Every structure is written in C-alpha cells, then in structure tokens.
Amino acid sequence: MIEMQSDVQDILREGVERTDAALERLLPPVSQTPASIHKAMRHSVFAGGKRLRPVLAMEAAWMIAAVRGGSGLPDGIEELGAAIEMLHTYSLIHDDLPALDDDDLRRGKPTCHVAFGEAIAILAGDALQTLAYQTLARMRCSADRRVEMIRLIADATGTIEGMIGGQVLDLEGEHTKPTAEMVLAIHRAKTGALIRVSIVTGGIYAGADVEDAARLEKFGRKAGLAFQIVDDILDVTQDSQHLGKTAGKDVASDKATWPAVFGIETARRDANRLIAEAFAVLEPWGDAAGSLKAVARYLVERTH
C-alpha cells in the first residue's frame, strides 16, 4: 500500500525549497565575472516563481519511482526542475521586452530589462537557455537518459508546437479576434509543451519506460491545458494586487484566451473536465499517483 507523500502544501513547499537550493548552486554567483549578467539572471530566476514545473517533474518522478519499487524522490531530480525553470525564466525575460509584450512588472518586481537594461536582459535570457543545457548534460543519470531529456526539452521549447512557436502565434494573433483553434494552438505550444515535458522528463529521470512516458505525456497534455485555462480565468476575475502582475491585460490587448473565446462558465467547465480526464489517464498507477493528483487538483482550484 503506497501512501500519499504528504499534504499538498508540504509538497509545494518542499518543491520550491529543493528547486531554489539547486538554482542557487547552479547559477554563477554575482561575484563571478561578468557580474552584470549573473546579477540579471539571478534577479529574474529568484523573482518569487511558484516552481510549478519543477514540482510536477518531481511528483511524476516520485510516482514512477514508487511503482518501480523505489521510495522517495530520486537523487538529483531537483537539477531537472532547475533546468526547466531556467528555460521558463528565459522565455519570460524575452517575452517582457519592449519589442514583445513590453511589461515593466513581473511578480511584483521590475522586469529584467527595467532593472538591467535591454542589452543585458536579452543576453541574460540567452544565458539561461544555455545554462539549462549545461545543467541537463551533467545530470546524475545515464547518458542515454540525459540525451533523451535534452531532445524532448529542446523540442518542447522550439518553434514547432513548442514554446517559441507559441510565442510567435501569440504575437501574430494580437489585435485580431481570437478563434477557438488559435487559442488551443497557442496554449498547447506556448505554455503546454513545457509543462508536459516537465512531467515526462521527471518520469524518465526516475526510470520510466516508453509506455510510461507516453501515458505521462497524455496526462500532461490534458492537465497542462487545464492549468492554462485556469490562468486565463484568473486574469479576468482577479485584481492586479492579488495576481502580482498587471491584471486584465489579456483582455485589453485582445489576447487569445479561453474565456475570451468560450466565456467564463464554459472555461471553468472545460478545466474541470480536462482534469477529470487527466486523472483517468493516471488510473493504472493507482495510489502511487496520489501526490501528482493532489498537486494537479490544487492547480485547477487555486485562486491566484
């Protein structure tokens, strides 16, 4: 009988702590030359992110380890979460630039280019992408698993149905009326792909086989879309102070969001339906999936 790891707040807190400790170790110190870029990288990486992707990677790893007879989180899993968080942060830094979304505030703090200037912000984003691969290439598992994780993560952040592709679709779609097809394509690529690959690579690090990885991918596809729909709903319904970023911005710029296309009520129903379908995918893993489910449920029920 496998018990749940612990309650969801403890899981989230442990995830943040382990990820932050790994990032602290992996990011060059601000005393290291050239100091300006290391300061900028740390400014954005330690801006108070919730580390959702690392937590999902950890819970997927915990589950796969458990069904394979292991117990606890595999050693070194936090380096995977840290690498993914570097990629997430690089995309935010570049997305916030004046030429893109032109955002001054992120999680209540000045964005990277506001604090360090555009040139350093561009290079800090570049360097975080690079550092993610420096990190992944050194992870504590076989070369076969490292190459597989690198391939999947690079694909998930690329132009074809990956993170950058989603950013381009999002840019191109601004100021035109969003369609259902468009919003689905953007969500799947811009945010969905990295969430999905966090879950899949967490499993692979813990020893997932091809069948496990395919099932994790399916879970991640449904759950990731549900999380993004909830994000969209919160942007419409919460005020800026509660969110820590400029609320209502998506509506103001005609951004392709789920509620903009389907309305709030349908969006809520869709998020709940997707999470139920995602949980059904986890059925074969039985009780071992408890923590992963608890985290996913928390993410669709959160209010900020």
Footprint of a second copy on this chain (CB under 8 A)?
A: 28, 32-34, 36-38, 41, 90, 94, 97, 99-100, 117-120, 122-123, 125-127, 129-131, 133-134, 136-138, 142-144, 146-147, 150-151, 154-155, 157-160, 162, 164-165, 167-169, 171-172
Question: Closer CB to a second copy, residue 144 or residue 211?
Answer: 144
Residue 120 CB, nearest approach to a second copy (Å): 7
Q: Which is nearer to a second copy, 1 or 143 (CB)?
A: 143
Spatial CB neighbours of 266, under 8 Å, sequence gap ≥ 6? none
Beta bridge mates, 187 = none
Is there a contact between 255 and 171 (Cβ–Cβ < 8 Å)? no
Minimum distance from residue 249 beta carbon to a second copy (Å): 17
Nearer to a second copy, 100 or 280 (CB): 100
Q: Residue 6 or residue 130: which is nearer to a second copy going by CB?
A: 130
Question: How far is 161 from 87, CA to CA, in rounded Å?
Answer: 16
Q: At residue 44, what is the residue type?
A: S
Q: How many residues does the chain have?
A: 304
Report the nearest approach of a second copy to the CB of residue 143 (Å): 4
The CB-side HSE value for 146 (13 A sphere, CA atoms) comes to 15
Per the CB < 8 A criterion, the answer to whether 39 and 116 are in contact is: yes
Query: Toward a second copy, which CB reaches closer, 100 or 276?
Result: 100
Nearest distance in Å: CB 57, a second copy: 18
Query: Can the peptide bond before residue 34 be classed as cis, meaning omega within 30 degrees of 0?
Result: yes
* Minimum CB–partner distance for residue 76 and a second copy (Å): 15
Q: 176-185: which pairs have CB atoms within 8 A and are 24 or more residues apart?
A: 176/254, 177/254, 178/254, 178/255, 178/256, 178/257, 178/260, 178/261, 179/256, 179/261, 180/261, 180/262, 182/256, 183/256, 183/257, 183/258, 183/260, 183/261, 184/225
Question: From the centroid of its chain, how far is CA 41?
Answer: 18
Nearest CB to a second copy, comparing residues 119 and 214? 119
Closest approach, Cβ 255 to a second copy, in A, equals: 15
Which region, left, alpha or beta, applies to residue 250 given φ > 0 means left and ψ of -120 to 50 means alpha?
Answer: alpha
Pick 141 or 271: Cβ nearer a second copy: 141
Minimum gap (Å) between residue 35 Cβ and a second copy: 9
